[in-house]
Structure 1
Amino acid sequence: MYDAIVVGGRCGGAATALLLARQGHKVLIVDQATLPSDVRLSTHLIWHAGVDLLHEWGLLEAVQETGCPLLTGFSLDLGELALRGQPPGSTVGAAMAPRRLALDKVLLDAALAAGVELRQGVTFEDVLKDGDRVTGIRGRLQDGSAFTAHAKVVVGADGTHSRVARAVGADTYNESPKEAGSFNLYSYFTGVKLDGVEFFSRPERMIYAWETNDGRSVIGVIQPGGAPRPARDNMEAHFQSELAALAPGLASRVQNGRRDDEWLSGAIATFCRQAAGPGWCLVGDAGVTMDPITAAGISNALRDADLAAALIHEGLQAGHSLDDSLANYQARRDAVSVPLLQFAQEMAKLAPPTEDVFKLFMALASNQEQIDNYYGVFGQTVTPMAFFDPANMAKIFAAA
């Protein structure tokens, strides 16, 4: 009998298991893969709120030692206007973009050091139940033999296509098809000089660039999900022509470097899932999958892990009810995640800016405090509701 079984040992699952083990709980991680392993479809960015959590958990230095720098410069190029700023209210005051092989290994090593057990090569098949309550999992080992384990709570950290979510029948809401979101084309480059995190916003396009491990950079072009997509054999020409037309300064810097990996691309459907039920909960993409245009996925997973572990720990204490604690998870997760999901989904349309949007950015141009607050929406140190509140909008225009 475990206190918790975590299905999925990547960033969200490893972080949840780590935090529970540090609080004295008996935790098992199961994963079908051999960990750690790379996650190819990831742009790696961790915003300020996520980096602050790594610092709080004592893991930031270990992530930096993988060859991943802190990112302290942020710019949004709108064509004739560029906004530079910093999200406020951050302890570390930086973002970072570690490759998943590096980040997940740091988290998993810390979890194992805290006493977490790891079973790899376990294919999850279903949950075990006592009535309506989840009491464990069953699956198959690599040799085909049956595997079962029992726990007071099962945590699904197994990604967008979560089998745990399907097994417990988690309801889905706030759904959008991938055609309503963005399509991302990117690769890795060496020898490209960057100034921190760079965004270039154009009608129906968003270009981004930032440094990851060992001097490499991830650079990509985002377009609406419903727009025509480049053929596999035309991705290089498409990428270079987009940069040359829309961000010639970045295009010149890219020409001075070289691409050292294959082209990666994709679009995803987005949604929220029911966060918890009797004996189970979901963290990370298993619970909320957002459009990647705001690069919020890893930060969301770390935040979910922090919240879920705190509530599970509370519920496992004498005199407390685990189900009552988990019942609070949905509302507290959604209070943060749903506005961010809606913000990302609106951005993913990449619609040409309206007159009101033009006016807002012109008003921001001379107001560094509010530029920083706008970046705080991405850094998750300022909520979308606070920044876009009518009172704050009036304050921005009054100052302008």
Structure 2
Amino acid sequence: MVYDAIIVGARCAGSSLALLLARKGYRVLLLDKASFPSDTLSSHFIHPRGLVYLQHWGVLDTLLATGCPPVHGISLDTGRFTLSSTVLPLENINFGLAPRRYILDTLLAQKAVEAGAELREAFRVQDVTRNGTHITGIKGRTTTGTPVTEKARLVIGADGLHSLIARAVEAPTYHRYPALTCIYYAYWSGMKTGSTALYSRPQCVFLSFPTHDGLALISVTWPRRHFPKVRASIESHFLEALALAPAFAACVHQGKQEQRFMGTGNTANFFRKPYGPGWALLGDAAYHKDPLLGHGIADAFADAERLAQAIESSYTGQQPLEEALAEYEQQRNREALPLYELTIQLATLNLTPEIQQVQEALQGNPEATQLFFAVLEGTIPAATFFAPEHIQALLTGTQTKLSRPEVVS
């Protein structure tokens, strides 16, 4: 049997693509080394631009029914003042969600299977098969060690930052930046939080937001150079950072840590060429940026939508596959690069005097504050908010409200 697509990696990128392709009637094999439900390292926040995809796919209501609390509010404590707002609606969605990954990934994989995809869990892909330079399939082993070879018109790597498929095809990288931050997080019970709370301090940023089971995720981000010492004594450095916001630290001490710390210093920033003869990449395998703003899941959904459209365009004879995949890359870069560049700037954890001046000017201007947060949420392009005429009006107070630009999906 030759599948229309073999997708390696069944988490939020791979399962979303499998769902979309299977609904179009294609023969899809979805593989993952994990058995679901399975957790994974993740900031696991989904901004409205990501939830729009789940709504279009008919999955959002099911996710909400799992008890994941909507997050309607957001605040930024700078140490000198606090900015607060509500989430700017995108379509009819005026909240974010932070589902646990063992719930979200399992749900998406189940939806893919319901649509007709074949899912093999606990399957370890070891290599690709080739006909010259053309990728023709995969080789791997089941949990019992049985070797398996499968063929496909297209092999797709949705297998994360350290993608085996990307390594096997030697996918070129570009727009590279070294890791700028390191991050650790854990879950607390007994925290009364219904919004996203950000705290910006010299040399660190920390935040909290609610997730499943009445828990709050609390994370701290430091410059990457601090990783060796933080890793050597995670809890002490974590609590030392939180102490920079005494009221918040007191709330944390009244709660209870429910799971061990998780984190990484590998926050590399890059784009990979996401296609070649017989193969394609999506999600973190294709494009990765610092998790500071929490856009990885929304990026994965956007990739799945774009790649599914490219494959459909080719398989229905509208254009050659290479041409369709080239357009997939071009569209991804066009849409992703502005938020990528903003993330790189903020991940230095050194706010420019200009941004500090803007934050100060936002005090007492609720509409402009909401638009500022919408930039961080990816709802409004940074170039729109930071257009010279908007910033001039904000800093000089020549108008009481900034003009509200159209949101982007």
Contact 1:277 1:327 in 2 (8 A): no
Distance (whole Å) between structure 1 residues aligned to residue 58 and residue 397 of structure 2: 41
- Indicate whether 1:94 and 2:95 are aligned: yes
Distance (whole Å) between structure 2 residues aligned to residue 325 and residue 381 of structure 1: 27
Matches within 5 A, 1:344-355: 344-351=343-350, 353-355=351-353
CA gap of 1:375–1:231, structure 2 versus 1, over 3 A, is closer
Partner of 1:172: 173
Matches within 5 A, 1:365-380: 365-380=363-378
CA gap of 1:228–1:330, structure 2 versus 1, over 3 A, is closer
Distance (whole Å) between structure 2 residues aligned to residue 21 and residue 117 of structure 1: 9
- Indicate whether 1:302 and 2:301 are aligned: yes
Matches within 5 A, 1:1-400: 1-39=2-40, 41-85=41-85, 86-178=87-179, 181-227=180-226, 229-230=228-229, 234-244=233-243, 246-268=244-266, 269-351=268-350, 353-399=351-397
Distance (whole Å) between structure 1 residues aligned to residue 17 and residue 227 of structure 2: 40
Contact 2:176 2:270 in 1 (8 A): yes
Name the stretch that deviates more: 140-149 or 254-263: 140-149
Contact 1:185 1:220 in 2 (8 A): yes
Cα offsets for 1:101-134 (capped at 9, x unmatched) = 0000110110000000012233222323334332
User: AA paired with 2:353?
Assistant: E
Name the stretch that deviates more: 127-136 or 253-262: 127-136
Please state whether the residue corresponding to 2:205 is helix, strand or coil: strand
**Could you tell me how far 1:313 is from its partner in structure 2?**
1.4
**Could you tell me how far 1:307 is from its partner in structure 2?**
1.3
**Could you tell me how far 1:218 is from its partner in structure 2?**
0.6
CA gap of 1:8–1:354, structure 2 versus 1, over 3 A, is closer
Contact 2:48 2:89 in 1 (8 A): no
User: AA paired with 1:42?
Assistant: S
Distance (whole Å) between structure 2 residues aligned to residue 275 and residue 103 of structure 1: 25
Distance (whole Å) between structure 1 residues aligned to residue 126 and residue 228 of structure 2: 36
Aligned length: 395
Please state whether the residue corresponding to 1:226 is helix, strand or coil: helix
TM-score (normalizing by structure 2): 0.91
Please state whether the residue corresponding to 1:261 is helix, strand or coil: coil
Residue segments in structure 1 that go unaligned for 5+ positions in a row: none
User: AA paired with 2:16?
Assistant: A
Contact 2:21 2:28 in 1 (8 A): yes
CA gap of 1:313–1:228, structure 2 versus 1, over 3 A, is closer
Contact 1:279 1:323 in 2 (8 A): no
User: AA paired with 1:388?
Assistant: F
**Could you tell me how far 1:229 is from its partner in structure 2?**
4.8
**Could you tell me how far 1:319 is from its partner in structure 2?**
4.0
Identity level (%): 37
CA RMSD between the two structures? 1.9
Name the stretch that deviates more: 226-235 or 366-375: 226-235
Residue segments in structure 2 that go unaligned for 5+ positions in a row: 399-409
Cα offsets for 1:272-309 (capped at 9, x unmatched) = 11122232211110011111111111111111111111
Please state whether the residue corresponding to 2:94 is helix, strand or coil: coil
**Could you tell me how far 1:230 is from its partner in structure 2?**
4.3
**Could you tell me how far 1:174 is from its partner in structure 2?**
1.9
